[in-house]
């Protein structure tokens, strides 16, 4: 029995050996006959760029600008040195920008939430947005919206300071611009900036001073000493402008400004200017005569006088002959 088992085992081993030999021959023949497999080449430079771009989202804020500049230059250099293909360059550039914009947006928001807005930070934002502008088409919609938010804040910031330079000629001018100022006080970001808020709080006083200056300029124009009889109509136009401005101020300024309004002062000054003008022009007309002026010309000046003052009377000259 033992001999029989040994024979069976030997036969089994011989069969396995034969099968292994046949399999080896077949595998060898297949490897010689089959075409070689295609070897996939990996661009190590492009692969490195992808890794660096992915890491941009986790860079510390203090290192963000340095990493941005280094990565930007690296991508450009690899393109120029033909270390990456044109397609790879386009893909990496798009990935780079869309990875950077959220970090830039977060940096800007962090600055907007502070109480002091350094000019150099605001200028950096403007410069960076201008730098990104040519690549608008490859920046995705979400990131473009982030850029637009920053642009909008900067635009509103500029509009605030333009309120300082507006011309104030009537109460409506002040009211309209102060209403706009109130909106900026509720602005999501501008409301954090102490300088902006201080300026907006001072704006009513700034406008009141501008308004006073405008009215005083109109009143001073009525006292111009070179008005001759041939300028009655011109003086009347200036008087009408001043009268409308004073009446507007008296009627509406208390609802807009705080503190003294100068209403009484303006009323007194314009009344004095009017009385002096009545006397001045009346005396001038009374002193006109032939041959320089005929009756028709003198009557025309009297009509111009009546159009401004309502009536013509020699009494106006006699009561204040030394006016002006």
Distant-in-sequence, close-in-space partners of 113: CB < 8 Å, separation ≥ 6: 189, 192
Q: Is the pLDDT of residue 31 over 90?
A: no
For residue 124, being part of any structural domain is answered with yes
Q: What is the share, in percent, of the chain residues with pLDDT greater than 90? A: 68
Q: Which domain, by its residues, includes 144?
A: 46-164
Q: Percentage of residues in the chain with pLDDT exceeding 70?
A: 85
- Residue 245 covered by a domain: yes
With b for 16 or more beta-carbon neighbours within 10 A and e for fewer, the 154-169 pattern comes to: bebbeebeebeebebb
Band (pLDDT 50/70/90 cuts) for residue 70 is very high
Q: In this structure, is residue 234 part of a structural domain?
A: yes
| Residue 252 included in any domain | yes
Handedness of CA 254, 255, 256, 259 (dihedral sign): positive
- Residue 242: partners with Cβ closer than 8 Å, 6 or more residues away: 215, 218, 219, 221, 222, 270, 273
Mean pLDDT of 160-169: 97
User: Among the three residues 126, 149, 164, which one is the final residue of a domain in this structure?
Assistant: 164
Q: Are residues 186 and 70 in the same domain?
A: no
pTM: 0.79
What is the full DSSP assignment across 191-214?
GG-HHHHHHHHHHHHHHHHHHHHH
Residues 311 and 257 in one domain: yes
Find the CATH number of the domain harbouring 276: 1.20.190
Same domain, residue pair 308 and 239? yes
- 2 in a structural domain: no
Give how many domains the chain has, as a whole number: 2
The verdict on 155 and 230 lying in the same domain is: no
Q: What is the pLDDT of residue 201?
A: 97
> Which whole number is the average pLDDT over 157-167?
97
Domain end: 164, 180, 197, which one? Answer: 164
User: 129 and 152 in contact (C-beta within 8 Å)?
Assistant: no
Statement: residue 135 has pLDDT above 80: yes
127 with 217, same domain? no
Give the C-alpha separation, 144 to 137, whole Å.
9
| End-of-domain residue from the set 164, 190, 212 | 164
Q: Residue 185: which of 198, 197, 167 has the closest Cα?
A: 197
Say which residue, 117 or 11, is predicted with more confidence. Answer: 117
Tokens coding 72? 């930007």
Judge if 61 and 124 occupy the same domain. Answer: yes
Closest CA to 123 of 159, 161, 72, 157: 157
The CB density around residue 80, as the number of other CB atoms within 10 Å, is 9
Question: What average pLDDT does range 243-268 have in this prediction?
Answer: 91
Q: Are residues 137 and 172 in the same domain?
A: no
Higher pLDDT, 261 or 167: 167
Same domain, 156 and 196: no
Same domain (yes/no): 148, 185: no
Closest C-alpha among 153, 31, 51 to residue 95: 51
Domain annotation covers residue 23: no
CA distance 181 to 295: 59
Residue 14 lies in a domain: no
Mean pLDDT, the chain, whole residue set? 87
Residues 179 and 155 occupy one common structural domain:
no
Same domain assignment for residues 239 and 266 = yes
118 and 178 part of one domain: no
The verdict on residue 323 lying in a domain is no
């Amino acid at each position: 029995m033992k001999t029989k088992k040994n024979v069976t085992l030997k036969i089994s081993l011989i069969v396995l050996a034969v099968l292994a030999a046949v399999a080896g021959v077949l595998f060898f023949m297949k490897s010689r006959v089959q075409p070689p497999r295609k070897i996939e080449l990996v661009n190590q430079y492009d692969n490195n760029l992808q890794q660096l771009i992915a890491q941009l989202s986790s860079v510390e804020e203090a290192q963000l600008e340095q990493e941005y500049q280094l990565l930007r230059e690296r991508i450009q250099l690899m393109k120029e040195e033909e270390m990456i293909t044109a397609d790879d360059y386009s893909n990496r550039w798009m990935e780079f920008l869309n990875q950077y914009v959220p970090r830039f947006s977060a940096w800007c928001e962090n600055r907007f939430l502070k109480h002091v807005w350094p000019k150099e930070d605001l200028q950096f934002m403007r410069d960076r947005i201008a730098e990104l502008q040519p690549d608008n088409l490859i920046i995705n919609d979400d990131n473009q919206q982030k850029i637009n938010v920053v642009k909008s804040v900067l635009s509103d910031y500029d509009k605030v300071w333009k309120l300082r330079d507006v011309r104030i000629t009537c109460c409506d001018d002040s009211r309209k611009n102060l209403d706009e100022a109130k909106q900026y006080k509720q602005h999501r970001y501008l409301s954090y900036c102490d300088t902006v808020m201080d300026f907006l709080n001072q704006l009513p006083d700034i406008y009141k001073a501008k308004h006073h200056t405008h009215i005083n300029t109109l009143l001073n124009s009525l006292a111009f000493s070179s008005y001759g009889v041939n300028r009655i109509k011109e003086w009347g136009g200036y008087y009408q402008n001043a009268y409308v401005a004073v009446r507007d101020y008296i009627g509406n300024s208390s609802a807009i400004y705080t503190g003294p309004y100068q209403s009484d002062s303006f009323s007194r000054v314009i009344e004095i200017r009017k009385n002096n003008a009545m006397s001045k022009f009346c005396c001038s007309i009374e002193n006109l005569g032939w041959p320089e002026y005929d009756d028709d010309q003198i009557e025309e000046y009297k009509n111009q006088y009546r159009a401004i003052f309502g009536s013509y009377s020699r009494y106006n000259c006699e009561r204040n002959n030394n006016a002006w």
